[in-house]
A and B are shown apart, each in its own frame.
Chain A
Amino acid sequence: MKSNKKSQFFNIFLAFGTIAILFMALFWLSPISWNNSIGKRQFDIIEAYQAKEKNLMYIDQSAKLAVYKTLDTISSKGGFYSEQYSCGKTSRDYFLWNTNDKNISECFPFVQRNFENKFKDNLNFYLEGQKDLKNLLNKYEISLVGNNVVGIAKAMLFFPKEPIKSMNDSSIYKEYEFDKYKLTAYYKTNCDESYLDHNYYAESTDSFNLIKDGNVNLGNKFLHADLRYKNYDKSDYDLESWTKAGIQITDIGESPGKYCYSYNPNPLYNFKLETTSDGKTACSIETADYAGALYEGNDLKTWNKDSGDNSCADSKTWLQCPGIKVYYCGKTSYDTYPEREDEYPDWRAVKDDAPRIETYFVEVRNDEHTEAYHIHSKTSFKFLVELDSAVKNQGKSVERDNFYKKWVSDSFSYAKTRIVSSGVKGEKAYPFYYSISPSFNVQFDTGISDYNGLRDNSEKLIEQCNGNITKLSVCIKDYIQKNNLNYKSNINGNIAEFDVPSSRTIITQEGNKAVLKPVTYKFALAFK
């Protein structure tokens, strides 16, 4: 009997227990299943995966375009990518694989190494165009494996968004109004030595990515003016590893032995701030009232270091664009000892109370104006960059010094970096991240192996046609016909220039147009 009673209780307990469990399930499950979409997390994962795919697609396309560009460059330069390592070139820019003094083994390019170096530059050029990929710049190990160009990434990509550390180290994720800002300093140097009477203007410019290596790129920024020239190239100037100056060598001097003195070197008469978002200019403002305005001798004023506030943020001269404010914090300069010109670079600081600086500027040393010596002055302009979400509009404050007033030289040690709140457009906390190493593999026959064939034929051509200068054209033609080669040659004296088209087609730029054309190897050979 006892057991029967127990069984009755069991049934009742089962019924009520089930009621309780079902109602609990009804209410407990409802916030999970009904307040969130079904499969939301799964779709979040798919979304992150697709964001990854989109970026990988961009990387693959960038890598492919970089291959095209690299092939185009090095094939048109005889396998070199810079004149620096070659044995010279002809007047029509065909790079020589030998000279009268050097044979092919001394001049022949290291094509694979050149390809890898140039490819890396080109790849970075394309990756810079995509803000999510900027932290990958220069972080690829490139190698050629068979017909493939393989890039092994040394940095991770995070999806849906890369976590960015804010300057105060709190880990929040931010989106900025712009992804890059650019500062340009326009400075002037007088060269009014009595018989040259020549002034000219120059500019230094540099772009700063807002986010680099996970850090927001702001604080103190410098632009440098350093007038040192490469001896052999008119269009280039030595950046002295971190400086930028934009004066053409043709602007200096008129004939060998002439030089000019400098007055108050490098007054900064204008500076400009530009922000860009996805490659498009978001805002542009400069201290000059109209673009290109030249303020003769009027140097921009900076902060007052006697005010007791050791921050450049009270500078009289500043520019702002939405989300960013840049203060001009003065300049400092060094010049060379004119009496010890052979020992340059040997800098001395320009003092506050220095008289007019009258050192050699640049002296032209040969008739072609291609050789110029003497570092004149190395000037650094300093700016304080702040991101400030309160800044909604572009604006400026400009004050100028008298031209002959002494200039602040050592202001840098006083100016402190000040960080204001960041310019945040939107914040989104994601529940998870998907991280990948965005390596790539471009399947494209780079034609590196073609150079072996070109070299073999060049060596045979030289062997066959050397000592036959008078009939060089005939000799080359004979060789091409006999060996059934598709070489096109152009002979100028003892130099033969060759165009060898291949079957590989690439997309390349011709003028403003993208065109599909075969890779054509160009090189020149010297005959004796």
Chain B
Amino acid sequence: MEKIFKKARVAVSLIDIYAYIFYAFLIFFVVLLFGIRSCSMGNSESAILKSNVEQTDANLILSNLLRTPVILDFNNPKSEITISDLIILWKSDKSYEVRLKNELNSILSSSYKRCVVFCIDNTQFLVNDCFLFIPECEDKYSQLIPDLNREIIEVSINPSPTAVKEK
């Protein structure tokens, strides 16, 4: 009787072992399946994610940039305007160009390490080294601001692609 019980116990434990092995293989197989499928989608997904994150960043940087205060006359603290005001002044008086360029350089170079094209309508201001980047104005990250006569000024930034950044 005892022998019979022993055999039965061994048989039962063997079935258990087979089941566990099968179970482990199954999990491995499914994980593999998930992995293969996610790999095939992963590259495009991560590219979309990266682009979305960059877009969010660029819009935020542009919006903050336009609100950045600038003191035009250091002897008069009440002469504080913003970059958007400086753009309005620059539109009708190009003598503000040097000041505008300096402000854009100091603000944008702290956010981007590589080339950034800052555009006011179709006029480009290049910040950082743009050797590997063909500068173009894109309206993907843009903001409209009115000038004194309600003419709409389109301001945009076009940072160089991440690939170029990482070189």
Contacts and interface: CB of A to CB of B under 8 A. Distances in A.
Given A130-B146, A278-B152, A37 B49 contact: yes
A40 to B, nearest CB: 8
Given A26-B30, A57-B143, A516-B81, A129 B150 contact: yes
Interface in B76-91: 76, 78-79, 81-82, 84-85, 88-89, 91
A133 B93 CA distance: 29
A507 B86 CA distance: 9
Candidate in A14, A23, A50, A508 with the most chain B CB atoms within 10 angstroms? A50
B52 A513 contact: no
A515 B93 contact: yes
B37 interface: yes
Q: Determine the main DSSP class of A at the interface with B.
A: helix
Given A34-B37, A50-B56, A507 B145 contact: no
Interface in A32-60: 34, 37-39, 43, 46, 50, 53-54, 57-58, 60
A264 B92 CA distance: 49
B147 interface: yes
Given A53-B59, A128-B150, A22 B145 contact: no
B148 A62 contact: no
Nearest to A512: B92
A445 B92 CA distance: 25
Interface string A1-44: 00010011001101100110011001000100010011100010
B148 A69 contact: yes
Contacts of A54: 59, 63, 143-144
B72 A62 contact: no
A509 interface: yes
B135 to A, nearest CB: 23
Interface in A264-298: 278-279
Contacts of B37: 26, 30, 34
B107 interface: no
A126 interface: yes
Given A12-B19, A38-B45, A505-B76, A22 B59 contact: no
Interface residues of A, number: 50
A514 interface: yes
Contact of B146 (A23, A61, A505, A513): A61
Contacts of A279: 150-152
A23 B79 CA distance: 68
Given A11-B15, A64-B85, A514 B78 contact: no
A508 B148 CA distance: 7
A504 interface: yes
A503 B76 CA distance: 7
A11 B19 contact: yes
Given A50-B56, A512-B92, A514-B92, A15 B148 contact: no
Contacts of B91: 514
Most A CB within 10 A of own CB, among B22, B33, B144: B144
B163 interface: no
Interface in A179-235: none
Contacts of A8: 12, 15
Contact of B93 (A12, A26, A46, A514): A514
B78 A504 contact: yes
A4 B72 contact: no
Interface string B131-159: 00000000000011111111110000000
B146 A126 contact: yes
Nearest to A39: B49
Given A58-B146, A279-B152, A505 B72 contact: yes
Contacts of B76: 503, 505
Given A19-B26, A505-B79, A507-B85, A65 B146 contact: yes
Interface string B31-42: 001100100010
Given A26-B34, A43-B52, A516 B79 contact: yes
B100 interface: no
Interface string B105-148: 00000000000000000000000000000000000000111111
Nearest to B33: A26
24 contacts: A8-B12, A22-B30, A26-B30, A37-B45, A38-B48, A43-B52, A53-B63, A57-B63, A57-B67, A58-B145, A62-B146, A64-B82, A129-B146, A129-B152, A130-B146, A503-B78, A505-B73, A507-B81, A507-B89, A508-B148, A509-B149, A512-B92, A514-B91, A514-B147
